[in-house]
Amino acid sequence: MHVRVAANQGGSRVTLADANTCSRERFVEALGCVFEDSPWVSKLAWDRRPFASVEVLHAAMCQVVTAASESQKLALLRAHPELGARARMSAASAGEQSAAGLDRLTQEQYDNLLDWTGEYRRLYGFPFIYAVKGSTVDDIMCALSVRLDSTRDHELAQALWEVNRIAWFRLEQIFAAG
């Protein structure tokens, strides 16, 4: 399968065929942005080539995360920016948050989001992670309010599920027909 892709964060182009035959360094350069500030996922997924499809590539990357130590998983989660934070973040995160309207919050919404995400981080030890693609600010706030009443084990699993979902959306964007 030879799929042309859009430019990734590094500005380079890659196809699935390229991903299956390129060096580890090139693979990480092209796909290291899929998991927020965690190129180690791509580095380890490279060993699982060849990938029959983007879905198989995604599954391999998710398996790397599943097999990671708890400290690696927590580092992966902590690499994600706070939702709505007006701080430096990756271009991918900034675009995703902007599309969900998190860059256009009223002051009251912004204050509430900061309070709730701060409480979430205090409770669970990592930021609230939500795959925002296709969601509204109300959807995000509703999910956050529900997840504030969860257990840490459930939230760890949920946050990793959300990270994998974000990775899928990023792979879809990278491997969109160009």
2 confidence band (pLDDT: 50, 70, 90): very low
- Asked if the model's pLDDT at residue 41 lies above 90, the reply is yes
105 confidence band (pLDDT: 50, 70, 90): confident
Q: How far is CA 34 from CA 24, 78, 92, 93, 174, in A?
A: 15, 15, 9, 10, 9
pLDDT of residue 90: 67
Domains and CATH numbers, the chain: 82-159 (1.10.3330.10)
More confident: 28 or 105:
28
- Asked if the model's pLDDT at residue 12 lies above 60, the reply is no
pLDDT of residue 3: 32
Q: What are φ and ψ of residue 111, in 5° steps?
A: -60, -45
pLDDT of residue 104: 81
- The predicted model gives 77-98 an average pLDDT of 73
pLDDT of residue 4: 32
More confident: 86 or 55:
55
Instruction: Read off the pTM.
Output: 0.85
Chain centroid, CA 84 distance in Å? 15
Considering the candidates 2, 58, 80, 154, report the single residue annotated as catalytic.
Answer: 80
DSSP states of 145-158 as a string? HHHTTS-HHHHHHH
Contact 77, 130 (CB under 8 A): no
- The predicted model gives 130-139 an average pLDDT of 90
Whether 80 is catalytic: yes
Give residue 50's region: left, alpha or beta (phi > 0; psi -120 to 50): beta
pLDDT of residue 110: 86
